[in-house]
Amino acid sequence: MTRANAAVTLARLHEKALPAVPYLIANLPDETPLQWQVVYGGGPFETKDAFPNNEFTTPGKEAAKALVAIGPPAIPQLIEAMAGRMDLREAPELVAGQNPLVRAKVASQVTDVLVQIGQPAVEPLTKALDDPRWGVRAGAAEALGKLGDKNAIPALTAKLSDPKPPVREAAAEALERLGVPPIGGPWTTPEAAPDRQRPPR
């Protein structure tokens, strides 16, 4: 069974596949092309050139689908994986034995999965804005902006004064997505972040 086949099987289990979340997260960067028909029953082709009409998927895409199928129970582990945005020098224990660029790619893909899970992710992501790791804070801000829930505006506004530039920039971009007019920015120091007026409800 290929990794993509395994992800398809896990997706059918929904929340019962929760123990497999770390395995699925680890497979998100895998872009090995596989024919759709093979993934859902058969053996793998080696190159996408063999696929008629570009009918192919990847283990990473199937892993993302499985994580979305697991849904809200997977959210805490998905948020934890966003720490991969952090620099190797700041958190070497998070990327031991792994390429930090791959770790960062996983963090970005996890953000997309959280957005696909939707509304149930809003409250945990809002709380994650106060995580001690800036990678988690930046990822949470990005996801909240894409989710489009304006209840996150106050918490995102507070992050305009975050000590880490990537967090401030992610918060500013999220606020713009939520309809808050941009004022200056991106801010390189906490003192440079202006007050923002919330749009009328």
Q: Are 80 and 31 in contact (CB under 8 A)?
A: no
pLDDT at 184: 56
- Written as six digits, the tokens of 193 are 């972040």
Q: What is the DSSP letter of 74?
A: G
Q: How confident is the model at residue 155 (pLDDT cuts 50, 70, 90)?
A: very high
Please spell the DSSP secondary structure of 52-101, one letter per residue: GGG-EE-HHHHHHHHHHHH-GGGHHHHHHHGGGGS-TTT-GGGSTTS-HH
Count of residues making up the chain: 201
Q: 0.85 cut: is pTM over it?
A: no
83, pLDDT greater than 90? no
pLDDT digits (tens, 9 = 90+) for 91-121: 444 444 456 667 778 888 999 999 999 999 9
Q: How confident is the model at residue 173 (pLDDT cuts 50, 70, 90)?
A: very high
CA distances from 81 to 58, 115, 139, 144, 184 (A): 20, 14, 10, 16, 31
